[in-house]
Amino acid sequence: MGKKKDIHFEVSERKILLRLLDMAFVFFGLYLLELFFPYNYLLIRGENTLYLIVLAFYLMIFGTIFELYDLQKASKLDVTFRNIVLTASTTILFYFLTPFFTPFLPEKRLQIIYFYVAIIVMIFIWRIAYVTFIASPRFYKKVLLVGEISYIENIVKALNNSDPNYKIVGFINCEETQGEPIKFKGLKEFEPKELINVISDHKISEVLVASYNSETITADIYHDLIMLLEKGFTIREYTQVYEELTYRVPIQYVGKDFYKYFPFSRSNQNTLYLFFHRAFDLIFSLIGLCVGLLILPLVIIGNLLGNRGPLFYSQERVGKNGEPFKIVKLRSMVVNAEQHGAKWAEKDDVRVTKFGKFLRRTRLDEFPQFINVLRGEMSIIGPRPERPFFVSELSQIIPFYETRHIVKPGLTGWAQVKTRYGASVDDSLIKLQYDLYYIKHRSLFLDINIVVKTLSTILYYRGQ
């Protein structure tokens, strides 16, 4: 325990670091342009403060849309470079289209090229440094897992997929072994008596306790954990880390003390938040219907050529407090797609028409539901409404499934921007974990985050 632990950055710290140094490198790049090139468009001057703030704002917004701050993608230089080019291109376009908040266009077009290239080059230089140093093994957060072996595989998989810098070095089985012990081959196992030495030898930053029943933890391990805690060592409970890294509530590990895991967001009862949320719903749905009417002629033509049948169809869904209502969608499947009964939609579902696939990927099939939003049956943001048949089926299999009905269903939601379409019970479990995370952490900031990520989903053609 005497050795110094490695330096590491938390998820939030890395995201802030990426944003701050993106801006710092861009501004430094503009300063270098002024020194070494015939450039005078946007200079680092006090009188240009507003222009520089607008540039930073656009970069932050479009960087988020084009996933420049997704930590999984930020650790891959090829993906990062593509996202930088998309972010810089869109930023420059919007920057030039808002002249009231930005400088007048330069007379020489070469100035625009300098400006554009400097943004791409400087951000990419910083991202090379990030991948080389910050995202390197030197800065990994090394974790020792103490838990029941029956849960370890799912735990390790979920956490490793969520944060590339969160490395579980090994595990200690906290249960009393009876007979032949069960072995887990995917991770190095240490003996309980080695706990203190492992922390010192492997420079462990955190002990993660993943025990469904705390009574299973042996007395020796419990004593060592207490000793570590008294020395100020970080010991965390698995569900907290799972929620922090995956942005999901791990309901499959919640037992009779479920009330500990669901301190739902105060925004669910906050009158001011609900007022602005409803105002946003009304304004956005009116704009959405207007846009929908403008593109409706093109949709009608596409439907005639690639759908062959009725343009609209309605379906019963379950809304807030379990109340059923009818939604209207643009038809994306063949006529009478469920003549043999309700069936899960699948990847590359043969029932989806060619034009229907386009409607789903672009989310255009959801446009008529703005009417449901105006009626107050739905919101722009919330858990997607499910059909009564599947709600009845899933609520018997998945614990807390009907908890998602305590808020209005939405056109888009946290589950829709974080995972693909649910086509099985397992997929529905993951979706529910995201939905409950939204209900638990519901806020204006999370709503804005969902709107921005929905734009990413549409632009990257990820709808289904």
- Select from 311, 292, 293 the least CA-distant residue to 301: 311
- Stretches in the chain below the pLDDT threshold 70: 1-7, 150-151, 175-185, 212-215, 253-261, 337-349, 421-423, 461-464
What does the alpha-carbon distance between residue 320 and residue 217 come to, in Å, rounded to a whole number?
Answer: 41
What does the alpha-carbon distance between residue 197 and residue 219 come to, in Å, rounded to a whole number?
Answer: 18
Q: Do residues 239 and 111 both lie within one domain?
A: no
Q: Do residues 240 and 270 both lie within one domain?
A: no
Amino acid present at 192: P
Q: Do residues 149 and 223 both lie within one domain?
A: yes
pLDDT for res 173: 82
What does the alpha-carbon distance between residue 387 and residue 343 come to, in Å, rounded to a whole number?
Answer: 11
Q: Which of 103, 134, 165 is the last residue of a domain?
A: 134
Question: How many domains, in total, are found in the chain?
Answer: 3
CA-CA-CA-CA torsion sign (195, 200, 203, 206)? positive
Q: Do residues 72 and 197 both lie within one domain?
A: no
Global pTM exceeds 0.75: yes
What does the alpha-carbon distance between residue 97 and residue 277 come to, in Å, rounded to a whole number?
Answer: 29
Q: Which of 217, 246, 275 is the last residue of a domain?
A: 246
Q: Do residues 241 and 386 both lie within one domain?
A: no
Identify whether 257 is part of a domain: no
Q: Do residues 33 and 57 both lie within one domain?
A: yes
pLDDT for res 284: 92
Instruction: Name the one residue in this structure whose structure tokens are 């989806």.
Output: 352
Radius of gyration from C-alpha coordinates of the chain: 26
Burial of residue 375 (CB within 10 Å: 0-12, 13-18, 19+) is: exposed
What stretches of 190-320 show up as alpha helix (H) in DSSP? 195-201, 219-230, 238-246, 271-306
Residues linked to residue 412 through DSSP beta bridges, in sequence order: 381
Q: Return phi, psi of residue 171, to 5°.
A: -140, 160
Identify whether 299 is part of a domain: yes
Identify whether 352 is part of a domain: yes
Domain range for residue 67? 11-134
Q: At what angle do helices 77-96 and 109-129 cross, to 10 degrees?
A: 150
What does the alpha-carbon distance between residue 253 and residue 262 come to, in Å, rounded to a whole number?
Answer: 13
- CATH number, domain of 212, equals 3.40.50.720
Q: Do residues 290 and 428 both lie within one domain?
A: yes
C-beta of residue 264 within 8 angstroms of C-beta of residue 439: yes
Q: Do residues 325 and 292 both lie within one domain?
A: yes
Q: Do residues 61 and 163 both lie within one domain?
A: no
Q: Do residues 44 and 60 both lie within one domain?
A: yes
What does the alpha-carbon distance between residue 394 and residue 396 come to, in Å, rounded to a whole number?
Answer: 5
How far CA 174 is from CA of 149, 198, 209, 254, in Å, comes to 8, 15, 9, 19
Longest CA–CA separation in the chain, Å: 82
pLDDT for res 2: 47
Which DSSP category does 4 fall into?
P
Identify whether 464 is part of a domain: no
Q: Do residues 238 and 287 both lie within one domain?
A: no
Q: Do residues 302 and 179 both lie within one domain?
A: no
